[in-house]
Structure 1
């Protein structure tokens, strides 16, 4: 897992880019929220 806030932001951006291809809004939401809550 990312150890710094900057790394968390980078991972979130990557995840959000991937999430744009998800079928449903909930999948996108989960993809964005989960990495942040694991900090």
Structure 2
């Protein structure tokens, strides 16, 4: 029972970390694309 609770906590934490990582990656890609679009000679 203790193992189940701890594993559930770890799973929730891992899910949160995954969502955070995805958001950071998305923000980084968006920023890079924005900078590239802004500074590219059109």
Task: Give TM-score, length-normalised by structure 2.
Answer: 0.42
Question: TM-score with structure 1 length normalisation?
Answer: 0.45
- Quick check: which one's helix share is greater? 2
Could you say which structure has the larger radius of gyration?
A: 2
Q: Which has the higher contact order (CA 8 A, sep 6+)?
A: 1
